[in-house]
Chain A
Amino acid sequence: MMQRIKFNSSESNKNNMIKNGLCIALLLCSFLTEAQSATQESVSEKKAQKDAAVTTLNQKFSAKVLHAYQDNSKTKVADAFAYFQLLTDASLDADLKKEVIDNIHLLFQNPNALVIDFTSDSLDKIPLTQFIQKLLISEPILFTVSNEAHYDSVSYQSWNTNYTVTRTKSGVNSTTNVMQTIYFYETPKVFGSETKVVFSTLLGAM
């Protein structure tokens, strides 16, 4: 009797374990399915949002207006290289160079944006702040930025500007094709006691 009971008890335990196992598997399956669908939804939402943002930027401005802003960004590129050149000018005092560095930082979106190291012949990409330090101790360099530029890779808040820089160092000219990201987006700007949201054009990585 006792044995039967034992037998019965172990049988019932086995059955229970199988049942439990099945339940857990079912639950896991259902969770996995839900999670998968949730992930799929999240990815598709993000894609849709990104698509919407890209579309919105292109729709916000006509080709003519966008080109006007892109054309205007050339001025900022030219200013940046004019400032780079000033930093290599040994005749300028340190205080003025501080002002020049301030101006460079105002032009760039990020002080650590990667830029081409025009002080070296290898033209490696280094952070802007490091490039500035290298310019300060460099021999004089003259930069000439091409008037012609073309623009591509227009995204929801930036585009790429392609232009040519001619570097004159130690009397030797070398020309480099540069592709630089230009950011263009709405940002709050402080005008004394007032803050307004305005479109800003900022230089990015090369």
Chain B
Amino acid sequence: MYLCFKIYGAIVPLLFKVGLVNTLSTHCKVFYLHLQWFYSGFLVNKTNVTLTFELKLEMTELQQFQELKEQVLLKYQEQYPFFQGNWKTFSSQDIQNLIALIEEQCKQTISEKWIYTHLKPETNSKIPRKDMLNILCQLVGYSGWDEFIFEEKGVETKEVEPARKSNKKAIVLVAIGVVLTLFAILFFTKKDNPTTKTIQLKNEFTNEKVASDEVKVFQVNDSVKQELELKEGKVQVTNSNEKTKLVIQSPFYRTQTVPLNSNGIVAAPVSQINLKPDDYAMMLKAFMVSDIKDWQTRKVQLDKILSDDLEVIVMLKEDLGAEYFNKKEFSQKLIVPTASLKKLKIIEIKNDATNKIQFIRIKQE
């Protein structure tokens, strides 16, 4: 049992100290709260786990400092009601205002740098100097840090008072502690389950689902690029870290790179990505399946959208060879379409500096 305390007691403060407490999974955080409750059982029983009790004190002080920060913020809001933010959004003007408020009410001075170092961060790895804590405590209505802690402990002691009544409950707590510790070991040793998110890809202009065979989606983690399966215009993204990106490529849409956040959610928009169509490529796609009507319009438009340097490669079946067409040859095929044209599928299009189509890669179906 003592070994379990040692393990968990070593991990949690360590994460607090290196500022990695936010990287813990939700399960771990829930477990941490359970453990706090568990520790409180020992606080009242006062067994031989002094070391663990000291760790609890250390954690409690950090929490109390967080509480103090919240009270300072409330005090500041009393004076400056228009401020509705938190420490993260606390501006340099707010800092100046706070310094002035402390000078006025406590006759003490706190530097701007100190506020940036100790109050602005969302989490703190250590408790500031006591004389500075005393100033903040005086600001929020206490004589000093000691009184502030005393008041906080008083609340905590009241909360754990019923536990003192029964040793039986302590045994139950110990059992729960063992189970929770085992869970904790599992959570710490096993990587968090990946979050899966379904993202719909749509044409930005028509708002229609993109054809699955016209778009390729890659998930890029650092330098590793993995193609994802696209079904009915939807792709399932399994995120692994904050650097994960989605790269969407298509001959008919502009290439897009979409970063994902750590929860596997697309930064914006959340579950849908709109792809911007390439007009010339879309026209070409329509021409490939058109009939002989409007051949004159088609001829004029082809001359407009195809570069004079156009190179078309038709890949033979199973990539066993290729056939090359220049602008004249390819245009003629489209001006007078035949049944064979409809069996060709565009897989790559490149445009020149003037946005005209300069390269087309086609596959025989």
Chain A: residues with CB nearer than 8 A to chain B?
Answer: 61, 64-65, 68-69, 71-72, 75, 78-79, 82-83, 86, 92, 95-96, 99-100, 102-103, 106, 189-194, 196, 198-201
Contact = CB atoms under 8 A, between A and B. Distances in A.
18 contacts: A65-B320, A68-B316, A72-B321, A72-B323, A78-B340, A82-B339, A86-B336, A92-B292, A96-B336, A99-B295, A99-B299, A103-B332, A103-B335, A106-B328, A106-B332, A191-B309, A192-B326, A199-B324
B327 A189 contact: no
B333 interface: yes
A75 B318 CA distance: 16
Contact of B336 (A69, A71, A75, A100): A100
Contacts, number: 77
Contacts of A61: 321
B177 to A, nearest CB: 69
B109 interface: no
A199 B323 CA distance: 7
A68 B318 contact: yes
B295 A191 contact: no
A188 to B, nearest CB: 11
Which range holds the interface residue count of chain B?
20 to 34
Interface in B309-365: 309-311, 316-318, 320-321, 323-324, 326-329, 332-333, 335-336, 338-340, 364
A106 B338 CA distance: 14
Nearest to B328: A106
B321 A65 contact: yes
A46 to B, nearest CB: 30
Nearest to A64: B320
Contacts of A71: 316-317
B320 A99 contact: no
A83 B338 CA distance: 8
Given A106-B328, A191-B326, 8 more contacts: A68-B316, A79-B338, A86-B292, A103-B332, A190-B326, A191-B309, A193-B308, A199-B324
Contacts of A86: 292, 336
Interface of B: 292, 295-296, 299, 307-311, 316-318, 320-321, 323-324, 326-329, 332-333, 335-336, 338-340, 364
Q: What 6 A-B pairs are tightest by C-beta distance, nearest first?
A: A192-B309, A68-B320, A192-B308, A198-B324, A82-B338, A68-B316
Nearest to B329: A106
A96 B336 CA distance: 8
A88 B297 CA distance: 23
Contacts of B332: 99, 102-103, 106
Given A106-B332, A189-B326, A191-B309, A75 B292 contact: no
A61 B292 CA distance: 37
A47 B292 CA distance: 50
A200 B329 CA distance: 12
Contacts of A102: 332
Contacts of A201: 323
